[in-house]
Amino acid sequence: MTNQSKNLTDVDYTDLAQKIRRWGEELHLTIGITRPVIPQSHQQALNDWLANGYHGEMHFMTQHQQQRLNPSVLHEGCISVISARLDYWTETKQSALSHLQNPQKAYISRYALGRDYHKILRSQLKKLALRIEQEIGPFQWRPFVDSAPIMEHALAQQAGLGFIGKHTLLIHPKAGSTFFLGELLCDLPLPTDEATDHCGCGPCTSCIDICPTQAIVAPFTVDARRCISYLTIEYDGVIDESLRPLMGNRIYGCDDCQLTCPWNKFSKTSQVSDFSTRHQLNDISLLTLWQWREDEFLRHFEGSPIRRIGYQQWRRNLAIALGNSPYTRETEQALKLALPNATPLVSEHIHWALQQQAKSAKTQSLREIPVWVTKSYL
Ligand code: SF4
């Protein structure tokens, strides 16, 4: 997606940068500008993270390091990075928490309730580039939304879009962390924004303390192998039994570190209607989703990021969540009914879920017996 460059020496780039910010706002984007340079501290943090094996099965993280550490390799002639933030939050923290705390409901990370952000943000970046071309004529540009090895948090921090929190996500002091990031790499010598050097976490450790699997192993370090987002979305294998009970009803991603973060009281409600919740996914029971056949899964998740994990991984995640839900005869029956046609991966997790249901049934029946009976005879 590049165009022939022409002589752009007459352009007032300070004025252009201001216009880019304004056009960004019209597209619901918050813009910051930086050079395509990754600071040494971020490079060291990445190397340490990989050396510790915290990337799990995400082998792609060990590849293309030259591009990752030097974005100008990704797009020849790139001298500026236009970093863009797009808010996705569509509901209240209270409603997210109430569904998270209901073990019979499915919890889906709030970023995934609507349409897939990749296409939406990429399209906004493309519109922004075309708007710039309208003003100054052709220039070289290329949009990125999670589509190449690019250290988007490091670049966004350099572009003044926020600081990196102890949970490793970017936080804007006036917008929290509930947004997506994308980049437009270009050959325009735009003035840069001031980097956000100050970390706003202070003594807070709320995200570290609340993480259900203790995946934030140190401030600013996440062991992906324990992270529920990684386990439910990136990892397609058998999930370690010790982690399954800790996953609760989280079937696609996890928001706990963001829900607890005090900065998210400043989260901005998204202006993009495509992020609105589809199929009542913000308030739907595990059993309803368990009944979806593969064709229904594919149809309901047309254009959704959830489709990417595929039906079997989806069923695996649901089986774990059903195992973590309180015993009901209906749940037990639904799990048993699915066994004959289950793949080995799903079958393993269904068997585990049935064991959990049996334990839950026993606890429930003990609760129904008067205390003096359990004390005297059991
Ligand atoms: S919860 Fe606290 S420690 Fe974690 S990112 Fe937010 S402010 Fe920082």
Interval 231-263: pLDDT, tens: 999 999 999 999 999 999 999 999 999 999 999
Residues assigned a catalytic role:
146
Which residue is closest in CA terms to ligand 1's atom 8?
Answer: 201
Q: Are strands 179-186 and 216-218 parallel, antiparallel or unpaired?
A: unpaired
Q: What does the block give as tokens for 376?
A: 């005297």
CA gap 360, 264 in Å, rounded? 35
Q: What does the block give as tokens for 40?
A: 């040494």
Which residue is closest in CA terms to ligand 1's atom 7?
Answer: 201
Instruction: Look up residue 79 and give its amino acid.
Output: I
How much is the pLDDT for 1? Answer: 43
How much is the pLDDT for 171? Answer: 98
State whether the beta carbon of 166 lies less than 6 angstroms from ligand 1. Answer: yes
How much is the pLDDT for 374? Answer: 59
Q: Quote the ligand 1 centre to 246 CA distance (angstroms).
A: 21
How much is the pLDDT for 267? Answer: 94
User: b/e map of 249-268 (b: 16 or more CB within 10 Å)?
Assistant: bbbbbbbbbbbbbebbeebb
Residue 202 DSSP class:
T
Q: Which residue from 178, 206, 208 has its CB within 8 A of the most atoms of ligand 1, so it is best to mutate?
A: 206
**Ligand 1 atom showing the smallest separation from residue 208 Cα:** 4
Q: Which residue from 204, 222, 259 has its CB within 8 A of the most atoms of ligand 1, so it is best to mutate?
A: 204
Q: What is the pTM of this model?
A: 0.91
Residue 285 DSSP class:
B
How much is the pLDDT for 378? Answer: 53
How much is the pLDDT for 73? Answer: 80
- Tell me which residues of the chain have a pLDDT lower than 70: 1-7, 368-378
How much is the pLDDT for 322? Answer: 98
Residue 297 CB burial class (10 angstroms; 0-12, 13-18, ≥19): middle
Q: Quote the ligand 1 centre to 55 CA distance (angstroms).
A: 22
64 DSSP β-pair partners? none
How much is the pLDDT for 338? Answer: 98
